[in-house]
Amino acid sequence: MISPARQAAYEVLLRVFEHDAYADRAFRSAAEVLDERERAFAQRLAYGSVQRVRTLDHAIEALGRRPVRKLDPPVRAALRLGAYQLGYADTAPHAAVNESVELVRRARLERAVPFTNAVMRRLSDGIQPLLESLPDGPLKESYPDWIYETFVRVLDADGALALMQAMNEPLETVVRLVRGEPPAGAEQTDIPGAYRVERVDEALVAEGSIWPQSRGSQLAGLCLGSSDGERVLDLCAAPGGKTGQLRGEVTAVEIDSARARELRQNLATMGRSDVTVVEADGTALPPELEGFDRVLVDAPCSGLGVLAQRPDLRWRAKPLPELQLALLRSAAGRVREGGTIVYSVCTLNPDECEAVVDASGLSVLPLGAEWPQFAHPSRPEFLLTLPHVHGTSGFFIARLVRSPG
Domain with CATH 3.40.50.150 in the chain: 214-401
**Residues 324, 356 contacting (CB under 8 angstroms):** yes
Give the dihedral sign, CA 227/213/204/208: positive
CA dihedral for 201, 205, 209, 210, sign (positive or negative): positive
Distance (Å, whole) CA 268 – CA 25: 23
Average pLDDT estimate for 61-75: 95
CATH class of residue range 214-401: alpha beta
Q: Considering the candidates 223, 236, 346, 353, report the single residue annotated as catalytic.
A: 346
Supply the Cα-derived Rg of the chain in whole angstroms. Answer: 23
User: Under CATH, domain 4-134 is a member of which superfamily?
Assistant: NusB-like (1.10.940.10)
Per-residue confidence (pLDDT) for residue 331, from 0 to 100: 97
Q: Supply the pTM of this predicted model.
A: 0.95
Q: Where in the chain is the domain with CATH 1.10.940.10?
A: 4-134
For residues 7 and 5, give the distance between their C-alpha atoms in angstroms, rounded to a whole number.
Answer: 5
Indicate the SS3 state at residue 207.
coil
In the residue annotation, 346 being an active-site residue is answered as yes
Q: What is the pLDDT of residues 128-149, one digit of tens each?
A: 999 999 999 999 999 999 999 9
User: What backbone torsions phi and psi does residue 308 show, to the nearest 5 degrees?
Assistant: -70, -35
Tens digits of residue pLDDT in 70-122: 999 999 999 999 999 999 998 888 999 999 999 999 999 999 999 999 999 99
Nearest one of 360, 368, 321 to 341, comparing CA atoms: 360
